[in-house]
Amino acid sequence: MVDPLAGNEQVQNLRKLFAASEVPNDPKAWDKAWVDATTPWDANRAQPALVALIAGAHDGDALVEDGTGQKVPVSQAIPSSGTAVVAGCGRGYDAKVFAERGLKSYGVDISSSAVTAANKWLEDQNLSADLKSKITFAEADFFTLATAQSAVSALAKPGAASLAYDYTFLCAIPPSLRTSWAETYTRLVGTDGVLIALVFPIHGDRPGGPPFSISPELVRELLGGQKKEDGKEAWKELAELKPKGEGTRPDVERIMVWRRL
C-alpha cells in the first residue's frame, strides 16, 4: 500500500534526523525536531477523537464494563479523578483535557524543548489557578516511569496512574521498544485504571519510520501478552471505536479503550 505520508516534507525531515542517529529513540533527535519545528504530529489542539470520546459521542453505541462489572456508557468508564499520564505529550494539548475532567494530569516528553514549548503554551492559556495546578509537564523517559529511575517522583511507584493516554507515541518509537511500551503501561496503570490508545496511522507501510505503521491488532498483541503476577491477563479490551465527529479521521485512526485488571 502506498504511504500517504510519504510526500509530507516534515515527515521526511523527521526520518532523516533519526536515520542519522545510531541511538534508538534518540532524545537528541527528538529535541532537534522541536528546535527545527519539524513536528508533523503537532495539530495545535487536543485531538478531536479524544475530545469526542470524553464528551460522550460513542455512549449510545458502546456500553462497556466498569471496574465493578456493570455496563456503562464508554465515557463513564474513563476515570474522572486520580492521576492521568500523557506519554510523548508534545505541547500538552491533551494533558489539559484530562485536567479539565478532574485528574491531576502529567505530560511527559523525552525532549526538553518539547517540555519548554508545553510550559509556554500552558502559560498562554489564561487558565484558572485551580485548573493550571492540575497540569504538570516534565522531561522524562517514558520507559522509566513506575520505577525508581523515574524523573517524576509522583510517577515512580507502580500503579501511579488511573488513566493513561497514548497518541503518536507508539507509532514514533522503534519497533524494538514495543514490548517495553506494553510493560511500562502495565506497571504504570493501577488496577481498574484505563488506557486510551488513539491508534494512528493504521494505513500504509512505513518500515523506516517515524511514524511506523501500527494497528489495533498490534495493540492487542502487545497488551494481550502482559500478565499479572498470578499469570492472569493484565488487560481487558473495553472498546475499539471508529472516531466520529468534526475533525476526526476515521479512515486512518481508531480509538481503543483498555482497563487494567
Q: How far apart are CA 190 and CA 157, in angstroms?
A: 10
Burial of 252 (0-12, 13-18, 19+ CB in 10 A): middle
**138-160 pLDDT, tens digit each:** 999 999 999 999 999 999 999 99
Which residue reads 492540575 in cell numbers? 134
12 vs 83, which has greater pLDDT? Answer: 83
* 252 vs 104, residue with greater confidence: 104
DSSP 172: T
Q: pTM score, two decimals?
A: 0.92
Which of 66-70, 75-79, 152-156, 167-171 is predicted with the least confidence, judged by mean pLDDT?
66-70
What pLDDT is stored for residue 59 in this prediction? 97
Q: What percent of the chain has pLDDT over 70?
A: 95
Q: How far apart are CA 234 and CA 220, in angstroms?
A: 12
The least confident of 48-52, 125-129, 168-172, 229-233 is 168-172
What percentage of the chain reaches a pLDDT higher than 90?
72
- Mean of the pLDDT values across residues 11-36? 78
Residue 207: the pLDDT is 63
Q: Do residues 238 and 64 make contact, with C-beta atoms less than 8 angstroms apart?
A: yes
Query: What is the set of domains in the chain, with CATH numbers?
Result: 45-260 (3.40.50.150)
| Residues forming beta bridges with residue 86, ordered by sequence position | 107, 165
| The pLDDT of residue 4 | 46
Res. 5: pLDDT tops 60 = no
For residue 81, the model assigns a pLDDT of: 97
Q: What is the mean pLDDT of residues 36-58?
A: 90
Please give the grid coordinates belonging to residue 11: 515527515
For residues 3-31, average pLDDT = 72
Query: What's the gap between Cα 5 and its chain centre?
Result: 20
In this prediction, residue 2 carries a pLDDT of 40
Cβ atoms of 220 and 237 closer than 8 Å: yes
